[in-house]
Amino acid sequence: MKTDLRISKTKDALRGALMHLLKQKGLNSISVTELCQLAKVNRGTFYAHYGQVENLFEEYFKTIMKDLADSYQEPYKHVRNLLSKDVNPATIRIFHHIEKYETFYRIVFSKTVPLSYYYLLFDHIQTLIRDDVSEHYLDRLDIDISMVSAYQANAILGLAIEWHRQDFKQSAEDMNRLLVRILSI
Amino acid sequence: MKTDLRISKTKDALRGALMHLLKQKGLNSISVTELCQLAKVNRGTFYAHYGQVENLFEEYFKTIMKDLADSYQEPYKHVRNLLSKDVNPATIRIFHHIEKYETFYRIVFSKTVPLSYYYLLFDHIQTLIRDDVSEHYLDRLDIDISMVSAYQANAILGLAIEWHRQDFKQSAEDMNRLLVRILSI
DNA sequence: AATTTTATTGTACACTTGTTCATTAAATAT
DNA sequence: ATATTTAATGAACAAGTGTACAATAAAATT
């Protein structure tokens, strides 16, 4: 059973309007009313699908996260030679992913956005890292794998935050090199 | 010139009401109206001091950050013996600080809160670490100190996030030991 | 092509928000 | 103690929020 044409039409219009407005103002200052006016969708229809503007954004977020997961599957080319044995390829993929969706991540890392978006990203990276970590620490049953992966995942995100602060002036390639250097110290 | 008694009276009432409501619901679902009703303060008065509920919370936040800065100055007793040469005492202080203000940090780490609070905490820890890092990397002028400190600061916060997720079941002491173990691997 | 199902619309409602301003009351200064 | 300054109040405003429901229109099904 495929989704009703009217529904996807409405959702496309709302997503388009949101993307348009996000280039002008922050997520929290976009009202349901103006969003619906721009999308030419009835306000009641919006509430039938989403409870608040954030929910609409989150739906978009999931498609981006999907891409991150997919990019993890992709074969590695240009960075493999950089990698030391301590670097998880998954972690190093993140910077290219952020670069690709820069406009989007400018929102995700903006101050006014709820912490939940950061957590969604964190979760994703933590999961990617966890598999690698649990292999590496197979012999040490005494240490909490969740803690180790949380530590490593968030360290990477620390670099991403600083990258955002410096207005993404470095290239993703630069960030990869930086990460390798930090890990090798 | 000291602050007007009426102002501090109003602010105390508002802060008290906020703390009371935060035990029941999330920050974002507290309306200005209900806050003022509980505090017995006119809604117009609220807006004279704060633009939104978040601003009131941020005022409280700053007093907590002050405590974190102060605790950094305190002489070290019970953890010094644990420290390897690679561990910055500042970083290891953070877990005791979070434990002390657990109620508060349950809010700071909750999903619905704006990312700006996380950044305030991040900034603070990054600054504390930066001094230590710049000493350590004095010879390596090619590496961005902000990046290294962002990496390390956020790694610690990753542990704090995971700690929060596990409902703070470990003691601050446990977290310190864990950090030392991770760093020594 | 006709029928059934279901999404969208328009309208209405009570409520919250953010702002303004004259009035009142409380604190500070004389 | 009185005068002056300044904060708090109450009322009113336009606009947004969230919800409900009957009427309509557009899909899906037969």
> What does B58-112 look like in DSSP terms, one character per residue?
HHHHHHHHHHHHHHHHSPP-TTGGG--TT--HHHHHHHHHHHHTHHHHHHHTSTT
Where residue B90 falls among pLDDT bands split at 50, 70, 90? low
Using a CB–CB cutoff of 8 Å, tell me whether B162 touches chain A. Answer: yes
Element (H, E) at A9: helix A5-22
The dihedral sign for the CA sequence B12, B56, B103, B78:
negative
- Residue A82 has a pLDDT of 46
- pLDDT band of residue B89 (cuts 50, 70, 90) is low
Residue A39: the pLDDT is 98
Proportion of chain B above pLDDT 90, given as a percent: 59
Which residues in chain A are contacts of B153 at CB distance < 8 A?
Answer: 158
Angle value at C-alpha A173, between A170 and A177, nearest 5 degrees: 95
The helix/strand/coil state of A114 is strand
Domain residue limits, chain A? 5-51, 54-184
Q: Which of B112, B162, B166 sits opposite A114 (nearest CB)?
A: B112
Residue B130: pLDDT band (50, 70, 90) is confident
Burial of A145-158, coded b for 16+ CB within 10 Å and e otherwise, reads bebbbbbbbbbbbb
What pLDDT does residue A139 have? 65
Of B111, B154, B166, the CB nearest to A161: B154
**CATH of region A5-51:** 1.10.10.60
Q: Could you tell me which residues come within 8 angstroms of residue B50 by beta carbon, excluding any fewer than 6 positions away?
A: B14, B56, B59
pLDDT of residue B46: 97
Per-residue pLDDT of chain A (185 residues; tens, 9 = 90+): 789 999 999 999 999 999 999 888 888 889 999 999 999 999 999 999 999 999 999 999 998 998 888 887 765 444 444 455 556 665 678 999 999 999 899 989 998 888 999 999 999 999 988 877 777 766 666 789 999 999 999 999 999 999 999 999 999 999 999 999 998 87
Least confident of A70-79, B100-109, B142-151: A70-79
Cα dist from B27 to A31, A42, B66, whole Å = 19, 29, 22
pLDDT in the model for residue A140: 64
User: In whole angstroms, how far apart are CA B87 and each of B75, B80, B83, B140?
Assistant: 16, 10, 6, 19
Contact A161 B182 (CB under 8 A): no
Does residue B138 surpass a pLDDT of 50? yes
Lowest pLDDT segment from A153-157, B87-91, B108-112:
B87-91
Using CB atoms, pick whichever of A111, A156, A159 lies closest to residue B114: A111
A122 interaction partners in chain B (CB closer than 8 Å): 158, 161
Q: Do A154 and B150 touch (CB under 8 A)?
A: no
* B153 touches A: beta carbon within 8 Å: yes
Scan residues 81-120 of A and list those with Cβ closer than 8 Å to B: 109-119
